[in-house]
């Protein structure tokens, strides 16, 4: 089972509330503390810690809808569309090609004006 992070809760209590709602809907979900607490002897430091909520990739859309329904939409992570990397590579290649074409036009203009 592939798990994906769908949201980042700002504190442990919020994360547990979200997990309870997801589990009540039949979605297996979990979280962990991400921050500098381990380096500080386990101390939770507000503002420097978050709690990613992880669900199965198959349940991600439904889980995001549940979290959004709890008025927590601002904590949702940006979704990554499968295959989106290919589109990004094509855009980069197009940008590089346009930059090369512009450089060639400038070079041609300079050579023609001399």
Residues of the chain predicted below pLDDT 70? 37-47, 80-88, 114
d(CA 3, CA 1): 6
pLDDT of residue 19: 96
pLDDT of residue 1: 74
pLDDT digits (tens, 9 = 90+) for 77-110: 887 555 556 666 777 888 888 889 888 988 888 8
Contacts of 72 (CB under 8 A, 6+ apart): 7, 9, 14, 18
Q: Left if phi > 0, otherwise alpha if psi is -120 to 50, otherwise beta: which for 67? A: alpha
pLDDT of residue 39: 62
pLDDT of residue 50: 87
């Amino acid at each position: 089972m592939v798990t994906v992070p769908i949201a980042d809760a700002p504190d442990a209590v919020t994360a547990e509330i979200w997990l309870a709602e997801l589990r009540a809907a039949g979605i297996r979900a979990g979280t962990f503390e991400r921050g500098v607490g381990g380096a500080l002897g386990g101390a939770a430091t507000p503002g420097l810690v978050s709690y990613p909520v992880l669900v199965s990739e198959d349940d991600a859309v439904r889980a995001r809808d549940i979290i959004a329904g709890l008025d927590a939409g601002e904590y949702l992570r940006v979704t990554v569309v499968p295959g989106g990397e290919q589109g990004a590579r094509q855009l980069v290649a197009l940008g590089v090609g346009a930059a090369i074409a512009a450089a060639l036009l400038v070079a041609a203009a300079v050579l023609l004006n001399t």
